[in-house]
Every structure is written in structure tokens, then in C-alpha cells.
Copies of this chain bind each other. A is one copy, B any other.
Amino acid sequence: MNHYPSSIRKVINNLNKLPGIGLKTAERLAMHLLSAPESEVLELSRNIGELKKTIRLCSQCFALTDSDLCRICSNPSRDNALICVVENQADMVAVEKSGAFTGVYHILQGLLSPMDNVGPDDIRIKELLTKIEKGNVREVVIATGTNVEGEATASYISDCLNRFTVNITRIASGVPMGGELKYVDQVTLKKAMEARHAL
């Protein structure tokens, strides 16, 4: 690292802190930035600098947004009576990309995880209940992950919602599309077998 002038070293250090960017990659990126057009580099710098300033959470669904309501909550053609509960923004984006959902979202901003001291009050479950209490919600699709925390959170939320007259559903588990059975783990295959349906 001492082999670089200090301004390059600083950028390498900063980049090296990002997830998945090792020292070698950070060096390569810094070298690229040095040879890239100045306007491009300044644009990157400016946009990173402004990122945190403009971003906040949607007051309704807690998605990241740069206005009070996110693009989905403020879209009148989305079905407000259908709520999809996800762990975070990235999961929301994944569901959106699938194009299979026309309702609105509720982003928990985390999952229940007693090991990490994350309880029901640490994620946005209360806000979900408040939304349901107001009525007008027909169905809640719980789309948390299928890992331990995701399943536990799904089951906790399901218990909480039982006292309301709302349909509670969970996204299906099974063999991923395009997957070969021999590469699928046993638990998934068991789930897929149990949830088999008529053709």
C-alpha cells in the first residue's frame, strides 16, 4: 500500500471497506478511476456524496425513497388491499422484478432473531398491525426468506394477524425453476413433495 501516493491510497482504503471488495480489487478500481474520464469520476463522487442526503424511508411501507411516499405507495394503480411483507428493500426489488405482484409492500427492516437480540419491537411489526387494524386490507402475503429467521418471523406475524379478518398467505417453497432435482437439498425437496398439486 505504501507504493501508492496518498490520494490513491485513501481511495483504495475506502473501496476496500466495501463488502466483497478485497485489496486487489480496490487497487484495480482505483487504477481504473485514474484512467476514466474526469466527468465520470466526479459524477460517481457526487452521487455517492448525495446518496444519504436525499434518501429516507417511505412513510407508509418503509421502502427507501427520495420523497415522502415511495413510487409504489404513490401509484394509484397498485392494490392497497394487498400487502406483501418483506425483510428489506432488496427483497422488495426482487419481488417487483418478478412482475407477479400488483399490491403494495411492507418492509420490516429486519427479521426476528433472538440470537442477535432482535425482537418484535425492533422490526416494523407494530406498524403492520396498525395498518391492518384500520381495515381495508384483504390479504397479507408473507414473503420473508425461507431461512430460520424468515420462517420464525413469518410464523410470528401470522400469529399476530390471526385476530383480524384478513387472509394470511405465505409464498410457496419448492424446487427452483430451471433446477435439476439432484442438486436440490433434501428439505426443499420434502417441501416440494408435500406441496405437490394436480396438473
* Contact surface of A with B, Cβ cutoff 8 Å: 2-8, 10-11, 14-15, 17-21, 25, 27-34, 36, 38, 40-52, 54-55, 64-67, 70-71, 89-90, 92-93, 96-97
User: Is the CB–CB distance between B46 and A49 below 8 Å?
Assistant: yes
Partner of A64, one of B5, B51, B90, B93: B5
What's the minimum C-beta distance from A24 to chain B, rounded to whole angstroms?
10
User: Is the CB–CB distance between A64 and B4 below 8 Å?
Assistant: yes
Can you report 6 residue pairs joining A to B where beta carbons are below 8 Å apart? Answer: A2-B71, A11-B51, A17-B36, A18-B32, A41-B48, A41-B49
- Going nearest first, the 8 A-B pairs with the smallest beta carbon separation are A45-B49, A14-B44, A45-B48, A5-B66, A3-B93, A10-B47, A3-B96, A7-B54
User: Is the CB–CB distance between A29 and B34 below 8 Å?
Assistant: no
What's the minimum C-beta distance from A86 to chain B, rounded to whole angstroms?
12
Known: A27-B93, A71-B5. A41 touches B45 (CB 8 A): no
Q: Give the distance in Å from the alpha carbon of A38 to the alpha carbon of B52 in the complex.
A: 7
Across-interface contacts of A29 in B (CB, < 8 A): 18-21
Q: Is the interface of A mostly helix, strand, loop or mixed?
A: helix
Across-interface contacts of A7 in B (CB, < 8 A): 47, 50-51, 54-55, 66
User: Is the CB–CB distance between A20 and B11 below 8 Å?
Assistant: no
Q: Give the distance in Å from the alpha carbon of A5 to the alpha carbon of B93 in the complex.
A: 11
Q: Give the distance in Å from the alpha carbon of A44 to the alpha carbon of B6 in the complex.
A: 14
Excluding A17-B40, A34-B52, A45-B46, 5 further A-B contacts by CB distance (< 8 Å) are A7-B47, A17-B44, A27-B93, A33-B52, A34-B51
- Among residues of B, the one whose C-beta sits closest to the C-beta of A90 is B31
Known: A19-B29, A29-B18, A32-B18. A5 touches B65 (CB 8 A): yes
